[in-house]
Amino acid sequence: MVQWVYNFGAGAADGRAEMKNLLGGKGANLAEMASIGLPVPPGFTLTTEVCTRFYEDKCTYPTELKGQVAKALARVEERSGQKFGDATNPLLLSVRSGARASMPGMMDTVLNLGLNDWTVAALAKRSGDRRFAYDSYRRFVQMYSDVVLGIELSHFEKLLERAKQRRGVKQDHELVAEDLEKLVMDYKARVHVEIGMDFPEDPHEQLWGAVGAVFNSWMNQRAKTYRQLHDIPESWGTAVNVQAMVFGNMGSDCATGVAFTRNPSNGANDFYGEFLVNAQGEDVVAGIRTPQELTIKARKSHGSDLPSLEEVMPNIFRELCTMRQQLETHYKDMQDIEFTIQQNKLYMLQTRTGKRTAHAALQIAVDMANEGLISKSQALMRLKPELIDQLLHPTLDPKAKKQVIAKGLPASPGAAAGKVVFSADEAVRRAKDGEKVLLVRIETSPDDIHGLHAAEGVLTTRGGMTSHAAVVARGMGRPCVAGAGAVQVDYAAARLSVGSVTVQEGQILTIDGVTGEVILGEVPTVPPQLSARCRRGPSSRLRPPWARLAAPCRWLRSWCRWWRPCRS
């Protein structure tokens, strides 16, 4: 019988990291982390072969799958000490995609699955916090309705705004339990209006609905666009990872975060990332709230008044630093990790090879070779020609006059100037007409992928260094300034304002992804310069194996910058 489901958790796993083609990147790495003793919540992975069969058989599953999922779910219940759908001690699940190639945010996720009117009461009693329970419930109903039932998020966002207005607050976390309980009722009523059916209360129905939605999301438009941009074959399919929920929004001793084991913007060997106290993971990556820094050094560097994780939870921070070192040593590359802290206990939810800029790729390759983590030949093979090409992008002329109107976080380096646009579709339309555009959003979403690709750079008013906009921009080599809170965006009027300065759609702005500056008009640029020692050139016999694939000047610049420090 074909094994369609692979288990992980409690220090053991059916799979390993090298099974990425079968388990997807996320599933393979969850299995690997569990195997090397990291604290991974228990779960199981439905393989990419299930996805392939799902599409070959007209969106139906292999006959053995249901039984294998039931056995795997029973093992998660055993390992977690909770029972799925139980009205006393309910197990809640996350359902996430995981293709073999990293596709950040392109496919769908459902969190807090298993909540209904009975299990939410049990969650409130077990946690001693009704607000947390109903906050989790309203998040689940909203996410499930969007991902599985296909109801526009805008319906729920309007109801959420109305609830905040009634309470007289501006932030979601300022709503109290009674507000959230009523909001759940309003959400469910909206579901009935939109689809003529009640929101599903049966946890098993919820689970299979979410699994089907994740498989279906492999063929959604944003996933197709991302695959086309990154040459990912459609035939690969995605895996689905079902995992016991851990909660970063259970109180002040809880948090969630995203981190890189090195700086993905410049390659420095610094722990780089962000977190939020009393929040769930999507709050960080979606840029809904501007997050806090991991380290004191980063907090001071970015001028943040909010305390870092190093200050708020020093013991957890030290534990996370140990895991950072363990993961880099094990995988021998910079890692992008997601973590949750539930009642002062750290859990690892993901690790994957981190996307980085060309400058960072070069620096990380040099440093890891010098540290003895990888060989020099391995380091050279990581420097792909298309990455090296990004090193030749111009930078702003330091002598030029500039009118800085705002400053945000330098999320992806480089300089970009273009006509301001406020939607991804408009960015694509103008770019096709030969115009250079700058995409300006309050926050980006995965649906903006085509606009991010078409734009010269991206500016957001919310979010941090690990937000969706920042991660995708770095992977594409696009400059990005995130979290420029002084910028007020009015989508309806197609304009932005900073104090007395107003910029209409079509006017030009410049962003500097190194300093985080937002500048009025177009600032002159200068081409990248070679240092004197670089112009001397490397030994021809040390020419890297991919050199002939790139233009001579491109190879010369990149090779000199790498080899000189590395061989010393």
Looking from the CA of 388 toward its CB, the CA atoms found within 13 Å total: 24
> Does residue 419 contact residue 436 with C-beta atoms inside 8 Å?
yes
pLDDT digits (tens, 9 = 90+) for 204-215: 999 999 999 999
pLDDT digits (tens, 9 = 90+) for 143-165: 999 999 999 989 999 999 999 99
Per-chain mean pLDDT for the chain:
88
Statement: residue 243 has pLDDT above 80: yes
- What pLDDT is attached to residue 555? 41
Burial class (CB in 10 A: 0-12, 13-18, 19+), 431: buried
Q: What number is the average pLDDT over the span 417-423?
A: 95
The CA-atom distances, in angstroms, between 209 and each of 44, 117, 216, 298, 327 are 17, 18, 11, 41, 34
- What pLDDT is attached to residue 550? 39
- What pLDDT is attached to residue 537? 39
Q: How many whole angstroms from its chain centre is CA 496?
A: 26
pLDDT digits (tens, 9 = 90+) for 319-352: 999 999 999 999 999 999 999 999 999 999 999 9
* 560 confidence band (pLDDT: 50, 70, 90): very low
Lookup: tokens for 298? 């980063």
* Helix, strand, coil percentages in the chain from 3-state DSSP, rounded to 5: 45, 20, 35
- Please name the helix (run of DSSP H) or strand (run of DSSP E) that holds residue 7, with its range, or none: strand 5-9
**24-33, 45-54, 456-465: least confident range:** 456-465
233: amino acid identity, one letter: P
* 389 confidence band (pLDDT: 50, 70, 90): low
The better pLDDT of the pair 82, 392 is held by 82
> Does residue 142 contact residue 163 with C-beta atoms inside 8 Å?
no
pLDDT digits (tens, 9 = 90+) for 286-331: 556 678 999 999 999 888 889 999 999 999 999 999 999 999 999 9
Q: What contacts 159, CB < 8 A, 6 or more positions away?
A: 183, 186, 187, 190
The better pLDDT of the pair 527, 221 is held by 221
- What pLDDT is attached to residue 288? 61
- What pLDDT is attached to residue 528? 66
- Please name the helix (run of DSSP H) or strand (run of DSSP E) that holds residue 226, with its range, or none: helix 221-230
* 568 confidence band (pLDDT: 50, 70, 90): very low
Q: What number is the average pLDDT over the span 5-19?
A: 95
Statement: residue 99 has pLDDT above 80: yes
If you average pLDDT over each of 238-252, 271-285, 440-454, which comes out highest? 238-252
Which of 93, 131, 100 is CA-nearest to residue 114? Answer: 93
The CA-atom distances, in angstroms, between 299 and each of 221, 274, 309, 515, 562 are 38, 10, 10, 15, 30
**Residues above pLDDT 70, as percent of the chain:** 90
pLDDT digits (tens, 9 = 90+) for 528-559: 654 443 344 333 333 443 333 333 344 444 44
Q: What number is the average pLDDT over the span 506-535?
A: 79
- What pLDDT is attached to residue 123? 96
- What pLDDT is attached to residue 382? 86
Which of 119, 104, 161 is CA-nearest to residue 338? Answer: 104
> Does residue 92 contact residue 123 with C-beta atoms inside 8 Å?
yes
Domains assigned to the chain: 5-244 (3.30.1490.20), 255-353 (3.30.470.20), 358-390+529-567 (no CATH), 395-525 (3.50.30.10)
395: amino acid identity, one letter: T
